[in-house]
Amino acid sequence: MANMPQLVILAGGMATRLGDIAATVPKALIDIEGKPILTRILDHAAEQGVDRALILIGHLGAAFDDYEHIAVDITFYKESKPLGTGGAIWNARHLLEPEFLMMWGDDLHAINLEALLTTHFTERCPLTMTVTEDHDEFNLEHQNGRVIRYDKSGDNRTGLNGYEAGTSVVNRSIVIEHGQDGRWSWEEEIYPKLSGLIAAHIDDSPFHDMGTPERLEKLRSLFRTDRP
């Protein structure tokens, strides 16, 4: 097993689409059949050799005060005001290792991290994105192993043939080069700027997010019978 880089998890969002479900609990700590989704994310990462994680928190950050994981050494870094996904990463740039794995705190995708890293180092791109082609909607276009367009809005779906599946490998250098103060979106700022320079790692293993009450219930139902 390859030496695993630092894992960075974005877990500071407001989770407004979850409504009352996330009113008093940050979304990364919402229970999924006996375990917070954060624990399930870290369990999967630890099984593959990840031993350290930087978790970026904000909304209801005090709820993480007593959180720990049996196999992963965790550093929490709390934003003082909402900064968006990009602003949160930029705010913690002094804690980032030269190369890091990045995951969203409300996604669960049981991928092979060593295979993802192999793609990253083989393609020698500053960012490698996991892409699934098995999803009910698409938000990106990839060709010849590169992500050439990202369209979160869905305004122009022509040519879209993949969906960002929640796990990336990122070179810290692109954070330093493209980061900025204030509130901003990693997806909407960085992905367009790196169009054609993002390696696409195709992985169609089951991908789940809990961004809406319906998706949360679907994820919970899967764990009632089996692990996704």
pLDDT 10s digits, 89-147: 999 999 999 999 999 999 999 899 999 999 999 999 999 999 999 888 898 999 999 99
- Residue 175 included in any domain: yes
**Angle subtended by helix axes 84-91 and 186-193, to nearest 10:** 80
| The dihedral sign for the CA sequence 171, 173, 175, 178 | negative
| The dihedral sign for the CA sequence 35, 39, 45, 51 | negative
Distances in Å between the alpha carbon of 138 and those of 86, 161, 165? 22, 6, 10
Domain total for the chain? 1
- Residue 1 included in any domain: no
- Residue 165 included in any domain: yes
pLDDT 10s digits, 50-93: 999 999 999 999 999 999 999 999 999 999 999 999 999 999 99
- Residue 138 included in any domain: yes
- Residue 66 included in any domain: yes
pTM of the model: 0.94
- Cα 161 from Cα 106, distance rounded (Å): 23
The band of 226, judged by pLDDT with boundaries at 50, 70 and 90, is low
- Name the residue range of residue 86's domain: 6-225
- Residue 90 included in any domain: yes
pLDDT 10s digits, 133-188: 988 889 899 999 999 999 877 677 788 999 999 899 999 999 999 999 999 999 99
- Residue 197 included in any domain: yes
Q: What is the CATH number of the domain that holds 128?
A: 3.90.550.10
Mean pLDDT of the chain: 92
